[in-house]
């Protein structure tokens, strides 16, 4: 460890540099390397992933005493916002544009060993290192920086769609559950103080938060599985998705965000977080409808208008709206009574592997997955319940296929 004693003006300049440096690097590298549109989108996604995850991991660092920051400027929950953003730019588009062909681990390892390990303890009053700071740095790199660069790489190369969607879901969750509520409380008053809340209120809030999250996460999963794209319009789906949770409500992700803010606001007893649900409505009215008109309507002129006419934006239908029936092939013994009341499901009784295929969509599901997808045709409650299991089941299947047999990884 090098023990430096830098004068305050130099530390002020360093704090400027921690934000301006990465921006400059990104702009220069984007021009020098003539990055493609997909590479730029990858860089943007890496930045968007970095912001909430760096914010969360650095909050943990401050909470556990791995390090803390000096000066009071631009602090949100003890974290300097400019350094968080600078970090998200550097360890996202910055390093990806600079070393597009080098693996994220190889990019980050020299920085961990060469920079953090040598000078991290000498940056007071910018940052005060505590015990276990090196473990904290490793934790931040493993959870925030390395996945961010992978996200940029995979997006640019248009591969590993399930991993991209998973990282984007983590990003969205971090923004909705942590970053935006923190900013709202910083602006309007209030605090997290999770450990001081009554246990009963936590026990009461958590299942509702999980339920609200499932609506958004299952929408993300459907866009990946059936749409062949991500939830972010810059990397859009290739097909119009109308099955699963989308058969009940056309804005499941915005609905999920609004419900999360209402539940979280009640739990934290903060009216301003509840009011953020109104901002989700504003976002839908202002941005999503515009996107629908200028993108979805143009790309899917036959399917989109009919879908919009039948599926509401906010209040889910109780029964699904299915444009053309999906096909379920199932043995008589396995036909659950609930499935006989399913809508838009053409059931063929035949012994053998249970198979489910939505009309006009390429993917066929078998076994338990097929039965769960068939359950999404019964009603909204069964659809949410089925999606809870599908989220875990499909993620586990993909992960195990990646680890044990890469030839069987779903496309």
Partner 1 sequence: MAHDECVWEQVTYEMQFNPQPWVLWVLSLFAFSAVGQRALDAVVSLSGDKTAFLAFPLTVLIPALTFLFLATRKGMSSAEGVLMQVGTMIQLLLIIALPGFALYLALGFPVVFLVIELFETRAPARLRTLIKSRIIA
Is 305 one of the binding residues for partner 1 (CB under 8 A)? Answer: no
CB 48 within 8 A of CB 171: yes
Is 289 one of the binding residues for partner 1 (CB under 8 A)? Answer: yes
Output 180 or 249, the one with its CB closest to partner 1.
180
DSSP symbols for 297-332? HHH-TTTHHHHHHHS-SSS--SS---SS-EEEEE-G
Q: Tell me which stretch binds partner 1 (CB under 8 A): 32-40, 278-286, 347-355, 398-406.
A: 278-286
Selection from 226, 249, 228, 217 nearest residue 395 by Cα: 217
What φ, ψ does residue 67 adopt, rounded to 5°?
-165, 165
If binding means CB under 8 A, how many residues of this protein chain bind partner 1?
27
**CB-count burial class (<10 Å; 0-12, 13-18, 19+) for 64:** middle
Is 54 one of the binding residues for partner 1 (CB under 8 A)? Answer: no
Name, in order, each residue with C-beta under 8 angstroms of 246's C-beta and a sequence gap of 6 or more: 219, 222, 252, 311
Name, in order, each residue with C-beta under 8 angstroms of 99's C-beta and a sequence gap of 6 or more: 107
Q: How far is the CB of 299 from partner 1 (least distance, A)?
A: 14
Is 294 one of the binding residues for partner 1 (CB under 8 A)? Answer: yes
CB 366 within 8 A of CB 353: yes
Is 238 one of the binding residues for partner 1 (CB under 8 A)? Answer: no
Contacting partner 1 within 368-407 (CB under 8 A): none
Q: Tell me which stretch binds partner 1 (CB under 8 A): 10-18, 112-120, 245-253, 258-266.
A: 10-18
Output 81 or 384, the one with its CB closest to partner 1.
81
How many whole angstroms separate alpha carbon 149 and alpha carbon 196? 37
Among residues 283, 343, 391, 397, which is the contact residue for partner 1, using CB under 8 A?
283
Q: How far is the CB of 149 from partner 1 (least distance, A)?
A: 22
Is 271 one of the binding residues for partner 1 (CB under 8 A)? Answer: no
Q: How far is the CB of 243 from partner 1 (least distance, A)?
A: 28
Among residues 287, 297, 368, 396, which is the contact residue for partner 1, using CB under 8 A?
287
Each residue 12-51 as x (binds partner 1 by CB under 8 A) or -, in order, gives x--xx--xx--x----------------------------
Say which residue the tokens 């810059």 belong to. Answer: 234
The Cα angle at residue 40 between residues 143 and 99, in degrees rounded to 5:
65
Output 9 or 352, the one with its CB closest to partner 1.
9
């Amino acid at each position: 460890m090098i023990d430096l004693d830098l004068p305050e003006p130099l530390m002020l300049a360093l704090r400027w540099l921690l934000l301006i440096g990465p921006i400059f690097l990104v702009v220069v590298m984007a021009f020098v390397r003539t990055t493609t549109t997909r590479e730029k989108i990858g860089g943007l996604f890496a930045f968007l992933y970095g912001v909430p995850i760096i914010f969360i991991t650095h909050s943990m660092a401050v909470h556990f005493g791995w390090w803390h920051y000096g000066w009071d400027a631009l602090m949100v929950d003890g974290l300097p916002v400019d350094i968080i953003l600078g970090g998200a730019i550097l360890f996202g588009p910055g390093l990806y544009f600079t070393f597009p062909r080098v693996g994220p681990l190889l990019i980050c390892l020299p920085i961990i060993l060469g920079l953090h390990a040598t000078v991290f303890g000498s940056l007071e009053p910018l940052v005060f290192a505590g015990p276990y700071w090196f473990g904290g740095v490793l934790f931040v790199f493993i959870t925030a920086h390395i996945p961010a660069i992978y996200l940029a790489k995979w997006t640019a190369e248009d591969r590993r769609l399930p991993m991209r969607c998973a990282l984007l879901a983590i990003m969205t969750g971090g923004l909705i559950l942590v970053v935006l509520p923190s900013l709202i409380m910083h602006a309007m008053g209030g605090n997290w103080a999770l450990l001081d809340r009554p246990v009963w209120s936590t026990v009461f809030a958590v299942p509702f938060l999980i339920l609200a999250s499932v609506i958004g996460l299952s929408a993300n999963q459907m866009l990946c599985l059936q749409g062949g794209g991500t939830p972010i319009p810059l990397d859009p789906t290739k097909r119009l998705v109308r099955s699963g949770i989308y058969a009940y409500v056309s804005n499941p992700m915005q609905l999920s965000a609004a419900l999360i803010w209402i539940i979280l606001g009640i739990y934290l007893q903060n009216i301003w977080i509840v009011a953020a649900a109104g901002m989700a409505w504003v976002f839908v009215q202002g941005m999503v409808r515009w996107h629908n008109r200028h993108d979805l309507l143009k790309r899917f002129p036959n399917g989109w208008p009919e879908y919009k006419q039948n599926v509401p934006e906010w209040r889910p239908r109780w029964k699904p709206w299915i444009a053309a029936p999906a096909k379920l092939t199932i043995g008589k013994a396995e036909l659950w009574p609930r499935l006989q009341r399913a809508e838009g499901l053409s059931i063929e009784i035949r012994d053998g592997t249970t198979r489910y295929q939505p009309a006009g969509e390429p993917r066929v599901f078998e076994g338990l997955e097929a039965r769960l997808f068939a359950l999404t045709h019964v009603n909204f409650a069964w659809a949410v319940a089925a999606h809870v299991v599908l989220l875990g089941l499909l993620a586990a299947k993909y992960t195990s296929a990646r680890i044990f047999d890469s030839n069987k990884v779903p496309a």
